[in-house]
Amino acid sequence: MPIDSERIEAAVVELLRAIGEDPDRPGLAQTPARIAASYAELFAGLDEDPLEHLAESAEFAGEDSSGELVIVRDIAFRSTCEHHLLPFTGVVHVAYAPGERIVGLGKLARVVETLSSRPQLQERLGDQIADAIERGLAPRGVLVVLDARHGCVTARGTRQAHSTTVTVASRGDLADAAERAGVLALIGAGAGSAIPEAELP
């Protein structure tokens, strides 16, 4: 279902009135249209299937099948927390142990972009990325680490401006504690974000 810009604009007008503002004053007159346009971008992933980005995977066999692990670190992402409709932003580290298929590295970032462009929870986002890679590539294992800063924590409530949240989702061989710890160590060795100490041996 496509974004209904007219309904968003009408809702923003009502919201502005509800907080005691005048939606017709010069500084706010274009705000409903701006928000509608930004929502079309922020929630574009609602109409996309992440598996489409993995459809053009290549066979990984013969001489090409010597690799044991693929890791893409520091994939920048932004999403919107569904509890407060405030942004959370950070990086995703994706690792997978190829089975019979591999995919262009940029396609993994596309999967992240599609799934993050929805009202989300960080924990669910990590699971959805791992599930998409598992379904799309049938790897021997998948590990997804998200490190994000949440607007609902930094801008309201406890206002912890420097706090970040780390979540981990693992599948297959990389769900094994020893295998997972080894991959987390590789990610942490060059990543721009922290890896949870509790996950390390």
Active-site amino acid positions: 81-84, 122, 150, 152
Q: E strands along 3-129, which residues?
A: 58-59, 70-81, 86-97, 101-102, 119-120
C-alpha distances in Å from residue 145, one per residue of 125, 131, 141, 173, 190: 10, 13, 14, 16, 14
Name 97's bridge partners.
Answer: 141
Angle between helices 5-18 and 31-42 (to 10 degrees): 130
DSSP letter at 162 equals T
61 exposure class (CB count in 10 Å sphere: 0-12, 13-18, 19+) = exposed
150 neighbors 125 (Cβ within 8 angstroms): no
